[in-house]
Copies of this chain bind each other. A is one copy, B any other.
């Protein structure tokens, strides 16, 4: 492990826009001041087409916008982004591409997905899933996993500052690369996908950590990002396990401290 390696991008808990100080009382009737996470609406346009309004902490609206479109298969490697405009005052972000496309069909077929809130995925979220071949010869050493878990838990974060937030980390062996947090766990994933897309970072040789549960959508997104190993401190759903086995995605859950369970593609774990 290169002890000096640092996240390229990470949350900034001291950014005053992201949290708010609120007065209340505790169990002893004592007045306290605590920090709470600030959620804001963000309306996403792809060219002239309004796509969706999301609630986000809005620390990286451009990465969120692009990552959302990539993970919904509305943007592919063939599309060229000319400009991303974030208009803070009207809470809007516009992604402009060279070629306009009409997403009416995609917008018509929606399914609520499992997850903490009711989720929307577009009908063909699965369309890339079956084409992906995850790299076989990538290994996750248990020692690296424990080191990364420790790094994540001790890194300054909005979670430590205010709670009520999900986090995701892209890492390679024991090196952290990207760390994103958001009120919705899918926003955190999408912000990482957006950063990877815009900076040509491949998922092939990386690992992905999430605080959220290992549900079907989480597995689908990780596979679509080409990442062969997915780790969570939370548990599994049956459909998540099934899909991970189909895709040969290494699925590590309930990872805390030096404990974990692997329910799919165990062959990538190197016990050291």
Contact = CB atoms under 8 A, between A and B. Distances in A.
Interface string A218-262: 000000000000000011111111000000000000100011111
A166 interface: yes
Contacts of A117: 113-119, 184-186, 215, 217
A115 B52 CA distance: 15
A163 B212 CA distance: 12
Nearest to A217: B117
Contacts of A271: 28-29
A164 B24 contact: no
Nearest to A121: B118
A72 to B, nearest CB: 10
Interface of A: 19-20, 22-29, 32, 34, 36-39, 41, 52-56, 110-121, 142, 162-166, 183-187, 212-217, 234-241, 254, 258-264, 266, 269, 271
